[in-house]
Amino acid sequence: MNRNFTIVAALVIVAASVTGGVRSRASRRYVANSNATAAASEKYEADRIEADYREAISTVEDKYAGEIDYEKATQAAIQGMLFTLDPHSVYFPAAEFKKLKEDQSSSFYGIGVQIRRHDDGVYVESVVENTPASRSGLRAGDRIVDVDGKDARDWSSEEVSKNVRGDRLRPVNIKVERAGEQVALNFKIIRDAVPLPSIRNAFMINSGTGYIGLTGGFQHTTDDELRDAITNLKKDGARQLVLDLRNNPGGLLDQAIDVASEFLPRDKVIVSVKGRSEYREPAVYKSNGSDPEDIPLVVLINRNTASASEIVAGAIQDHGRGLIVGETSFGKGLVQHVFQLPFGFGLTLTTARYYTPYGRSLQRDYSSGSLYDYYVRHDEDENLTPTQPGQPSPSETINQTRGSNAPAFRTAAGRVFYGGGGITPDIEARSLTITPARGRIIEAAFQFTRHLAAGQIAGLESYRVEKVDYDHSPKTTDYAINDRVLEAFRAYVRKEQSQKLQVAQIDSDLDFVKLRLRQEIVTAAYGADAGQRVLLESDPQALRAINVLPDAKRLAESVRNGTPVSLNFKSIRPTPASILLPLYEEPDEWLI
């Protein structure tokens, strides 16, 4: 380890020297009379940095009183250097770099379950069809208590993931606690490929409207998945489309270009990229499709829509191809390349910036404030009235102002947008607000449904789930949440004081309670996709998107015909986006 530390530390020194050189060269571009003195000064500065760094390493090794974790020290040194550049240049230890490459390949080796940390441990949220876990008999609601002989009861979801994922065809031993079983159950599961698709859900949300949930990043298969989803939805009668990019963190640039090309005429600019080396002159990427889809389109975004997904949304918005509905996106306009280092380490380094077709940079300012402030935006409003499930979100036409220094860009149909700070939606729409009380309802509903699906609730034995039927599309009559179920839930909450939920809170928010209970039992019976469908059919943002599809059609037609467009939406007071979580977003959720 000491040798590895020295080698990687040397890499840090070289990288630091290169960084210094970059800054010096950047400065020299603005100095007309640069000469050999400047070059010598630059070399002296690089040598001094290297000498200081080696002296610091030597001092720590010789004088530090405790044990030195060389690997952790190396990681901190590299990441500290990268943090001085920008928030998206990141160092990856070997295990995390391996996961990054797996995520980009659209599959990984594991067992095939979605897990999430609850109050008392990590639980199986759902089991993926045709995976080792589904064949072995793991079920939604199982609590993971042991992995390969190691006590997992206090682990985070990330720790469970690290210990369960592994090499293909190698076994992993998992012990779970299951509702209705007196003793823990042991499973020996052989790891295999687990699909990690970009499109997590695609279905008809009503008789003429298709929904595509492109929420899993942009990977090597993203455009192929999108094309297949559109084809299947059109066969089912889709005449208009909602494309959901909420919580999509981005990914591969070429896939973002291909996805946007599915909707834009050939040779329309999608994005331009400019950087220091290969992008010194702007690289302009245009749509490459010969027969793009022309059905009315609405794109859903939120504050976790970032990078490649912002490229798609920006291209659709700039060209007036569809309407953007939701919340202002994250604001990541930096391009990273992935570099592999020795010993399996890696890093992503910002090498360029991208711009929308009409020249907007979407990157938020990161020059001041902490990384926490950059990634987590706060704008608390304790008087916010929670939105209700099953009702279209209130919305408003956004006043596109970003401050006096924000450049304005006139786009298709004469619409004006401003650069900086992400994609501002054409129509702001509030998601389902998750209040603290609703968070406790979600937790209680999950725990209650574990017992309900196990047939352990007296009088509701018909809700027992024997086997997951992945091919079933849930109907409103399936696992109805009637008065008997609600009363049983109240009784469960009264008995389980650890839930920290009062019956009065249930009765004051019954629509939300019914939604969460039904989502949990449908997930247990028909799988995660069916459960997500239950949520989406009551999602205020999705319902608002459906409502404005006729306006999206009028906008696209106006752009094609070169005629003026006037879209009037009901105006209300803006709602802070920071405490509005997407309806289906759950914290600490992992696929393993």
Q: Which residues are catalytic?
A: 307, 318, 332
Distance, CA of 387 to CA of 431 (rounded, Å): 7
| Cα–Cα separations (whole angstroms), residue 23 to 35, 40, 300 | 16, 15, 39
Distance, CA of 375 to CA of 371 (rounded, Å): 6
Residues 6+ apart with CB under 8 A from 514: 481, 486
Q: What is the DSSP letter of 227?
A: H
Q: DSSP characters for 388-436? A: -TTSPPPEEE------TTSPEEE-GGG-EEE-SSSPPPSEEE------H
Distance, CA of 431 to CA of 429 (rounded, Å): 7
Contact between residue 340 and residue 300 where contact means Cβ atoms under 8 Å apart: no
The residue among 541, 547, 533 whose CA lies nearest residue 205 is: 533
Backbone angles phi, psi at 86, to 5 degrees: -165, 170
Which residue pairs, CB below 8 angstroms and at least 24 apart, start in 546-550? 546/205, 546/206, 546/209, 546/242, 546/298, 546/392, 547/392, 548/298, 548/323, 548/325, 548/395, 548/427, 549/209, 549/240, 549/242, 549/296, 549/298, 550/296
Q: What is the DSSP letter of 384?
A: P
Contact between residue 324 and residue 316 where contact means Cβ atoms under 8 Å apart: yes
| Cα–Cα separations (whole angstroms), residue 568 to 31, 116, 548, 552 | 52, 42, 11, 12
